[in-house]
Structure 1
Amino acid sequence: MWSKGKLVSVDAQGGVALPIPFSAKVDHKLAAPVRFKHPVAKADEVRSKMLRWPSVSPKGDQIVFEALGRLWLQPVSGGAARAITDGSRRPIAPRWSDDGERLVYATWHDVEQGDVRVMTVATGAEERLTKAPAQYLAPAFSHDGTQITWLKGSGAPLRGHSTASELWFRLELREADGTVRDLGTIDGSGGANRGQPVTFTPDDQRLYKLTDEPTGAPNSAPKTTLVSIDLYGRDERVVARWERAAEVVVSPKGDAVAFVEGHKVYTAPLPLTGGQAIELNPKGGAFPVAAKSESAGDWLSWTTTDGPRWAMGPKLFGGAAPINLDARLPRAKGQGKVAYVNARVLTMGAAGVIERGTIVVDGERIVSVGTSPPPPGVTVVDLGGKTVMPGLIDVHAHLHYGVSDAQPQRSWAHEINLAYGVTTVFDPSAHNDTVFATSERIDAGLELGPRVFSTGYILYGAKSKDRSDIQNLDDARMHLARMKAMGATGVKSYQQPARAQRQWVLAAATEEGLNVYPEGGGDLWQDLTMIVDGHTDIEHSLPNAPLYDDVIGLYAASGASYTPTLLVAYGGVSGENYYFQTEDLLNDPKFTRFTPAEWVDRNLRRRTLVINDEDWFHREVSKAAGELAAAGVKVNLGGHGQVQGIGPHWELWALAEGLGNEAALRAATINGAWTLGFEDDLGSVEVGKLADLIVIDGDPLADIRASVRITEVIKGGVRYDGETLKRVESTK
């Protein structure tokens, strides 16, 4: 039998185990890991790739879209886009009137809540249509321009929940005289879905809406169903069904429909069938379906004088030629020259530890590190012997679900992470609309938080509306291209069941210059194929611990890195419960300052588990990670978003149990930068790199738990107080 990495024979009578010596010649062909560098903060402007709701005016002269927290108009013929809102409120789902003279859209404000507005395009004059503050989504004009529909949320934000937590939406219709009629309930949109507009039939006598229709079959996803209702919310009639369409838009004449299924755009006729629903399937059926997009498509629109349009990243398709949409704002960065003196510098680079060091920052980058006195004319900040180290890099930070079309103006999760010294996060599974838009707004200084990078939404292999169906290399190319267009620096293959499918993703990633971060999934044998096949990193822990020379040697030879996410370690009781059991967050003033009371009450007032010390499996996983690190594998810190802010430090402390303090600090800084392809700009205190630093009142090399004693956070040369995150001004 097998035991502790060896073969043994066991006496059937006495139970004595004797080792059986053996050796095996193993010959594996290892593919080089896919790994590309990505520059960080090189441009002076933030040019948006996540443009939402682009739509051509019925006049055919200009395009409206949302980006960087504003509405923009851009000429169809070319030229620069101009912002038509000021950014004081989040604009949502702009939609043209049929004459092209007006726009209706919703807005969101974190304090004042939301409303619905109509703008006269020629003058910019606005009229607010709603009185009650709430979350409003998906407004739409009637064809004659006298009526407007919208969705009104149940009040989740007022109950302390996110905008994605609405229990339902009420469908409301505003009459020409300003009265508002309630037409009934529509299910909540969910964290990864958009508000679907309820639109008018060509004669303005009925409304189209989308619903999910259960099939009745076990383990089957509901069908997407287009229904019509009368103007009082009654007399529901099914018009068409799809297996899993993600977006549906009916043509203004009502004779055709465009839809997105499998991330591609299709059109089909919408014939009068006497009340009988039609089934539309891109793979064939009774009604013809035509492919419109050569590659992926998103954000469908269809106005009166224009055919169907769709976007992929910053390009709008559907016309004679793609249109590049160009919304940009200056990138936020530090100003002036500052010398930080009398610091103990943990460089995480070749210089090691510098006692009584000086770091000179010019703008947002480091220009000098050493023991020389500061140059003349700079602002000097005496750190009094405190430790300075690179900002933490969380390679597996989930922050970007639980948000609807109404994206918040401030994110407590981003702010608390920055306050705890996490200056860069990488989210390997996120809502595309949220994560890439948030990243851009933070880069432009419109929100406060770490640098945000992501794979975007996973390349999901299971059946769903968001499935990435990969049956060949061309399918993989399409999915990699669409993620890159939105701003992804890597992708995450997730539950792609066949090894060949994962290999196609790797091949397409090599062509696109993207890294690949697969879901480990708690399956050792699948993990080993991922290591052998050349994945950049393995996300989540190998479920087996301890590990032995066979796995350790293979992993080390492969060149792949490892993010074990000890707080959610597979194979046993996870690390987060250890820290929930042993740490007193409920009485931590810094943690509770940033964390919503609802989260605190739900997670901290009742301890979830009581576990004996010998049963904490994350310690075994950490020890195995330490053995991998000693063999040459780059191990990274990934907090998994279990507890925002303090969670990455818990992960750091757990890593230190197996790796030791210095190696754990490298896992939290330079290793993560290397795995993400950011090592030229982040991860160490070296000349030319971004000034992302944390100041610690203590020595984490000696006491790893000193990592939370942060007095100051510096991101891109901008200084923040470590307790309150208030900006600290440098004065001479």
Structure 2
Amino acid sequence: MIKTTKSLLAVTLVSALGLSTTYSTHAADDIKKDATINEEKWDVSNPPFALNEVTINTTETTWSSLDIAPNGKYMVFDMLGDIYKVNIDGGDATPITQDFAWNIHPSISPDGSKIAFISDRDGINNLWIMDSNGENLRQVTKEKNNLIHSPKWSPDGEYLLVSKGIMSSRSIPAGEIWMYHNTGGDGLQIKARNHGKKDQQNIADPVFSHDGKHIYFTENTVPGSRFDYNRDPLGGIFAITRFDRENGDESRYISGTGGAVVPTPSPDGKYVAFVRRVKEKTALFLKDIKTGEETPLTTELERDMQEGFGSEGYFAYFDWMPDSSAIVYWTGGTFHSINIDDKTISDININVEATLQYADALRFDVDVAPDEFDVNMIRWSQMSPDGKTLLFQALGKLYVKDVKSGKMKRLTKQNDHGEYYPRFSNDGKAIVYTTWNDDELGSVRIVSARGGKGKVITKQPGHYIEPSFSSDREKVVYRKFTGGYLLDPKYSVDPGIYVADLDRKTEKKVSDGGINPHFADDNSRVYFTESVGGTPYRETQLSSVNLQGNDKRTHLYGADDVSEYKLSHDKKWVAFVYQFKTFVTPFVENGKKVTIGPNMTSLPVTQLSSKAGEYLTWSPDNETVSWFNGPTFYSRSLKEAFAFVDGAPETLPDPVADGINLSFTTDADKPSGYKALIGGKVVTMRDADNTQEVIEDGVIIIKDNRIEAVGKRGDIAIPEGAMQIDASGKTIIPGLVDTHAHGAQGRNEIIPDKNWSQYSNVAFGVTTIHDPSNDTTEIFAASELQRKGDIVAPRIYSTGTILYGAEGLGYKAIINNYEDAYFHVERLKESGAISVKSYNQPRRDQRQQVLWASKNQDMMVVPEGGGKFQQNLTMLVDGHTGLEHSLPIERGYSDVTQLWKATEFGYTPTFVVSYGGMMGEEYWYDRTEVWKNPRLLRYTPATMLHSRSIRRPTAPDNQYNHQNVASYAKELRDNGVSVHIGAHGQREGLAAHWELWIMQQGGFTAWEALRGGTIDGAKHLGMGNDIGSIEKGKLADLVVIDGDVLADLRRSEYVEFTVLNGRVYEAATMNEVGSKTKRSPFFFEENNATFMPRTTAEAIDAKVHHFHWKH
């Protein structure tokens, strides 16, 4: 048996140091912190964080794949990352592996002497072989980024088939079928992806025929390369393909209604067993190879994975008895044997005792509303040409800071509009920038570097960004984009790159596309970054046109790694951002497109930063490059970057690690005075793990932004002069905490004055959101504006941009060691993140490295579930904060429940986009007339609703999966697991209530569902000391709902008032109660029939997919 002895090793180490030998798994924590973690090879089985132990006893297992010995006397199966052996008639199971590696998919060799299996013990899922007793372990495949699953032996015992999951621009692996000799090697490709590098459609479940002449596998047959959710298996998604090993021919072997997955040939060569969907049931079928007849054996299998991703297989693998008389399979938490002749089913009862290891879940307290806060989202920082002043944007306005004295002041005095994208002129005398106001729209302006009032240089209002002077200050280049969605769509005609001649007062469009335009050399051309067409992933290049928009040339190519290029003013150098780091190299024109990157050999190249960076600028003398990340401004001179530059020191310094911190402290928004909510039913959520406190005819006293007192009317004195709100006949609950809330906070870095989607959130009672995927600079800029009180929105927390494991320019995070992980966590924390989203990093060592880097920086880690059940369990035992999205299986059983119960690993199933079947969001479109919801239409453009909700699919309840997800979530919560709402940004505010209603469909009571929408989410995010319950000292985030929500949870959407940070908003108008200032109308509000320009719709769709907001 494979078994590690970490406990013994730790005791030996502690004894050797002369310390106490009384062992606790936490005792070695400090030792591990001081240990060298940057070793050549990270060991996933022995990570640097401390591990706890839990022993479970179970007669149930979850999604267990099995294989039967050639003699038919026993079988092996997987459970919670270990492989077990049990008599074919059942009984006590014994472990073959028992370690912290995750071991699954056992397959016994034809002679019974070996077991092939999948293990991540080298850092990622690979194929391994061991003796049948667990000894003589050896590795077969050595993949570094692709995921190996589902091994099956050839009849002669020489070869093994596996599926190889390869990620493209989405982290949903597309499978290929590979064959390996049992001794290893690079393997032979049997079946490639049908659409090459861009493919997202899966191929899986490979197996040899009984005689080895054919290979069967599961193949996605839906046209196109893109994976889509909510596909219909009854119409056929998958089919079984047969591959002829002699001539290489492929043929569609089993297909049709309900699809066909997991081919499993009988040993006698007469049948192929497979899985098919029959209405709402998953069935085990037989195909008679001779006659072609397909016959169901049982329709009582657990729901298959046809509507999921299937990278770990489309059903728990089953096997034939050696005499082909019966099939043994797992379903419903237990094992069964079905006789293929009379279809009788016998239960195989087993018992497993397992000792498992797990790490503590990462969670840190968050100070939700201090009276002061540090402004960290400093954007577009730039040094003045004379080196005396730093220019930047914060809290929506432009500032200048004296480098020597540290004194800071506003550049302008106006408060009519936001100020964006500032740039110095080369002579340092002027600053160009853009503006935005929801009512007046935007402009390009120039202001004296000494400050004052900006002069408008654009001829009409519009949507303007990225302005830049020519070196002689005679021209300005800028980009115009289209409005709509969050911004008024007026003046959205003819977007592109423009050049304004300041003397002639003319504007000339020079390019339809491109971003980050700038001049160089003699100012006769405009240079810009653009996407390369016709590539599997987004790739970039630096191109240029002349001032008439002609003579287009492409100069540099950065593939899918370079996000930004900036030429020096003399056009002798180019700085670029490669995977979040800044570099510089000489720029040479040779009439061809030059590929650039840190490993280029054609020209010298130097890394400038050890920290992350963006927004590159050059000094006027072309000798220094600067950039920023979060609040820190960085710069480096060329003489410090290249030894051949005049003035270079003998030894060049390391890449820049230190910069100028531009962060500053400001007062947070905080109202003053007393308010009293009188007469409502108060659902406090105080001490919610032990009691269900409800105060009838209650009173809540608010002082400033915190709760002063809570109790019954008559027991609580109403302060003199307090604003009084009659809550009679209403229910008062804590503000809703949406722990997985996507959605745009701006467009192209412009934060609207009024974001209708956030107004809608507040109007529906959502007072805190945590967005686990968004544009880093946009969302933290919005977060600080909200905290300052400059915009109305829920409290905004986020991970910023995801740490993506697949291909994706601007959000793929390359992690090959602990230093890489630390770099990525640090860059996000510096910008304002409280957590990071580890998004389908394929290797477990990568995920552990992110965890360790986050632990060492007091950051939480909320991983993408990704529809991978086994991977989800490694996230649990490794100590992630919680799981984002649902388990992809129908439900867990006692083994999973006992393990989960032992941890503090949270669960945010996002019921509205629950994996594995029709999603909860579809249910509410099906069952309710969303497009008529008056509360939603107050703050949401009707056109955003019509296309999604009027012509909607319909299906019986048994086709929907969200109730199954909610049912198991209820079981987990009953066992102490924290379960929270996460509306995924699917429908502005309303979807948070869908989450509550779905919880009730799964068996939660109304009170329990409200607990999941309030205090459980608050605690999960480390905010339980400040929000989530109605009690003295907590922040005044409350929802006043018309009616008795405990009697009828569907009343929850009928919000009368939302109290956010002590300010009371009337949900019907979103006017602040007691304020003389009324909300100005949204751009669509008069007739709610505003349409988006096509280019905006395309841009929003790209953003939605870029940040994975749509499922």
TM-score normalised by structure 1 residue count: 0.94
Q: How does 1:490-501 map to 2 (within 5 A)?
A: 490-501=835-846
Paired position in structure 1 for 2:744: 400
Paired position in structure 1 for 2:453: 125
Q: How does 1:353-392 map to 2 (within 5 A)?
A: 353-371=694-712, 372-379=715-722, 380-392=724-736
Amino acid at match of 2:716: P
- Answer yes or no: is 1:676 the counterpart of 2:995: no
Q: Retained in 1: the 8 A contact 2:434–2:467?
A: yes
Q: Retained in 1: the 8 A contact 2:697–2:728?
A: no
Deviations 1:659-715 (A, max 9, x none): 222221111000100111001101001111100011122222221112112211111
- Answer yes or no: is 1:204 the counterpart of 2:531: no
Paired position in structure 2 for 1:726: 1071
Q: Retained in 2: the 8 A contact 1:152–1:172?
A: no
Paired position in structure 2 for 1:339: 676
Paired position in structure 2 for 1:323: 660
Deviates more, 1:330-339 or 1:483-492: 330-339
Q: Retained in 2: the 8 A contact 1:57–1:64?
A: yes
- Answer yes or no: is 1:445 the counterpart of 2:785: no
Deviates more, 1:660-669 or 1:295-304: 295-304
* Alpha-carbon distance in structure 2 between the residues aligned to 1:647 and 1:532: 31
Paired position in structure 2 for 1:31: 359
Q: Retained in 1: the 8 A contact 2:371–2:667?
A: no
* Alpha-carbon distance in structure 1 between the residues aligned to 2:421 and 2:749: 8
* Alpha-carbon distance in structure 2 between the residues aligned to 1:711 and 1:155: 32
Deviations 1:172-202 (A, max 9, x none): 3425311222223115xxxxxxx41x22222
Quote the offset at 1:135 in angstroms.
1.2
Paired position in structure 2 for 1:511: 856
The verdict on how the C-alpha distance between 1:643 and 1:296 changes in structure 2, with shifts beyond 3 A counting, is same
1:58 to 371, 381, 385: 385
Paired position in structure 2 for 1:237: 553
* Alpha-carbon distance in structure 2 between the residues aligned to 1:166 and 1:495: 40
* Alpha-carbon distance in structure 2 between the residues aligned to 1:348 and 1:378: 28
* Alpha-carbon distance in structure 2 between the residues aligned to 1:43 and 1:292: 38
* Alpha-carbon distance in structure 2 between the residues aligned to 1:422 and 1:301: 40
Please list every run of 5 or more consecutive structure 1 residues that lacks an aligned counterpart in the other structure: 188-194
* Alpha-carbon distance in structure 1 between the residues aligned to 2:374 and 2:904: 34
Paired position in structure 1 for 2:496: 169
Q: How does 1:531-542 map to 2 (within 5 A)?
A: 531-542=876-887
Paired position in structure 2 for 1:628: 972
SS of the residue corresponding to residue 567 of structure 1 reads helix
* Alpha-carbon distance in structure 2 between the residues aligned to 1:327 and 1:441: 14
* Alpha-carbon distance in structure 1 between the residues aligned to 2:485 and 2:346: 64
Quote the offset at 1:724 in angstroms.
1.5
* Alpha-carbon distance in structure 1 between the residues aligned to 2:494 and 2:925: 30
Quote the offset at 1:357 in angstroms.
2.4
The verdict on how the C-alpha distance between 1:298 and 1:87 changes in structure 2, with shifts beyond 3 A counting, is farther
Identity within the alignment, %:
36
Paired position in structure 2 for 1:186: 513
Paired position in structure 1 for 2:686: 349
1:17 to 341, 345, 358: 345
Paired position in structure 2 for 1:666: 1011
TM-score normalised by structure 2 residue count: 0.62
Deviations 1:178-232 (A, max 9, x none): 1222223115xxxxxxx41x22222222222222224x66x3442x222232221
SS of the residue corresponding to residue 711 of structure 1 reads strand
* Alpha-carbon distance in structure 2 between the residues aligned to 1:354 and 1:158: 40
The verdict on how the C-alpha distance between 1:105 and 1:40 changes in structure 2, with shifts beyond 3 A counting, is same
Deviations 1:75-126 (A, max 9, x none): 1224232122334222221111111111111112222222111112225132
Quote the offset at 1:157 in angstroms.
6.3
The verdict on how the C-alpha distance between 1:185 and 1:376 changes in structure 2, with shifts beyond 3 A counting, is closer
SS of the residue corresponding to residue 506 of structure 1 reads helix
* Alpha-carbon distance in structure 1 between the residues aligned to 2:490 and 2:988: 15
Q: Retained in 2: the 8 A contact 1:154–1:169?
A: no
Quote the offset at 1:656 in angstroms.
1.6
* Alpha-carbon distance in structure 2 between the residues aligned to 1:662 and 1:494: 33
Quote the offset at 1:376 in angstroms.
4.3
Deviations 1:299-336 (A, max 9, x none): 22222156111112111111696222145543212210
Quote the offset at 1:612 in angstroms.
0.9
- Answer yes or no: is 1:311 the counterpart of 2:628: yes
Quote the offset at 1:346 in angstroms.
0.8
Amino acid at match of 1:203: D
* Alpha-carbon distance in structure 1 between the residues aligned to 2:836 and 2:757: 23
Deviations 1:439-460 (A, max 9, x none): 1111111111110000011001
* Alpha-carbon distance in structure 1 between the residues aligned to 2:401 and 2:568: 23
Q: Retained in 2: the 8 A contact 1:81–1:327?
A: no
Deviations 1:266-296 (A, max 9, x none): 111223x433433222124221111111221
The verdict on how the C-alpha distance between 1:722 and 1:276 changes in structure 2, with shifts beyond 3 A counting, is closer
* Alpha-carbon distance in structure 2 between the residues aligned to 1:123 and 1:47: 25
The verdict on how the C-alpha distance between 1:105 and 1:461 changes in structure 2, with shifts beyond 3 A counting, is same
Q: Retained in 2: the 8 A contact 1:81–1:326?
A: no
* Alpha-carbon distance in structure 1 between the residues aligned to 2:490 and 2:742: 15
Quote the offset at 1:341 in angstroms.
2.8
Q: Retained in 2: the 8 A contact 1:527–1:538?
A: yes
Structure 1 or 2, whichever has the larger Rg, is 2
Paired position in structure 1 for 2:1038: 693
CA RMSD of aligned residues (A): 2.2
Deviations 1:617-671 (A, max 9, x none): 1111111111111111100000011101111001110012222222211110001
* Alpha-carbon distance in structure 2 between the residues aligned to 1:496 and 1:234: 43
Quote the offset at 1:161 in angstroms.
6.2
Amino acid at match of 1:213: V
* Alpha-carbon distance in structure 2 between the residues aligned to 1:225 and 1:376: 65
Q: Retained in 1: the 8 A contact 2:745–2:755?
A: no
Amino acid at match of 1:212: S
* Alpha-carbon distance in structure 2 between the residues aligned to 1:564 and 1:220: 29
The verdict on how the C-alpha distance between 1:280 and 1:533 changes in structure 2, with shifts beyond 3 A counting, is same
Quote the offset at 1:730 in angstroms.
8.8
Amino acid at match of 2:544: S
SS of the residue corresponding to residue 335 of structure 1 reads coil
Quote the offset at 1:370 in angstroms.
2.3
* Alpha-carbon distance in structure 1 between the residues aligned to 2:730 and 2:339: 61
The verdict on how the C-alpha distance between 1:520 and 1:166 changes in structure 2, with shifts beyond 3 A counting, is farther
Please list every run of 5 or more consecutive structure 2 residues that lacks an aligned counterpart in the other structure: 1-328, 637-655, 1077-1111
Q: Retained in 2: the 8 A contact 1:69–1:87?
A: no
Q: Retained in 2: the 8 A contact 1:142–1:204?
A: yes
Q: How does 1:637-656 map to 2 (within 5 A)?
A: 637-656=981-1000
Quote the offset at 1:497 in angstroms.
0.7
Q: Retained in 1: the 8 A contact 2:574–2:586?
A: yes
Amino acid at match of 2:694: V
* Alpha-carbon distance in structure 2 between the residues aligned to 1:628 and 1:436: 33
* Alpha-carbon distance in structure 1 between the residues aligned to 2:349 and 2:686: 43
The verdict on how the C-alpha distance between 1:160 and 1:576 changes in structure 2, with shifts beyond 3 A counting, is farther
SS of the residue corresponding to residue 435 of structure 2 reads strand
SS of the residue corresponding to residue 29 of structure 1 reads strand
Q: Retained in 1: the 8 A contact 2:617–2:626?
A: yes
Deviates more, 1:629-638 or 1:554-563: 554-563
Paired position in structure 2 for 1:192: none
Amino acid at match of 1:473: Y
Q: Retained in 2: the 8 A contact 1:135–1:406?
A: no
Compare the two structures and name the one with the higher helix fraction.
1
Compare the two structures and name the one with the higher strand fraction.
2
Amino acid at match of 2:748: S
Paired position in structure 1 for 2:567: 250
Q: Retained in 2: the 8 A contact 1:168–1:185?
A: yes
